[in-house]
Amino acid sequence: MKVVLDASVAVAAARVNEPFHLKSRALVARILGGVDDAVVPIIFPIEVAASLTRVGEDVGVVRKYVDALLNVVEDMTGVGSLRARQIRDVAIASRLRAADAMYVWLAIREQVPLVTLDRELIERGSSFCNVIEP
């Protein structure tokens, strides 16, 4: 299965005390193992690294984890002016934060489910794409 992987799932997979840790970890393990495919927006590695280091996770461990994910996911790096306008329109229509709108736009573009733990993203994004929990 191919999905858009939200940073919230990658963070939960890395933190044992997070709700949905086991389910998130299982999904991330399938992605790292090549069983499932994932696509992420350019902001994904920044969000994951920032979230994990803000709560005190070891910087070296965080870099290795994010690099491992980036080695197996399809990274959507090209966000030019046309795509920026499309993402802007998703943000306006959905009333989502900029980063969250990128994930929804990517799920729409790729026609795959968006996997997230973010309640607001689930509520607002599901009108625009298939949003699921791990």
Q: Which domains can be identified in the chain, with CATH numbers?
A: 2-132 (3.40.50.1010)
Q: Which of 126, 100, 125, 75 is nearest to 6 (CA)?
A: 100
What pLDDT score was predicted for residue 77? 61
Residue pointed to by tokens 């992987």: 5
Q: Give the angle subtended at the CA of 39 by the CAs of 100 and 131, to the nearest 5°.
A: 50
> pTM of the entire structure?
0.95
Spans of the chain below 70 pLDDT: 77
Task: Centre a 10 Å sphere on the Cβ of residue 117 and count the other Cβ atoms it contains.
Answer: 20
Cα separation, 57 vs 16, whole angstroms:
12
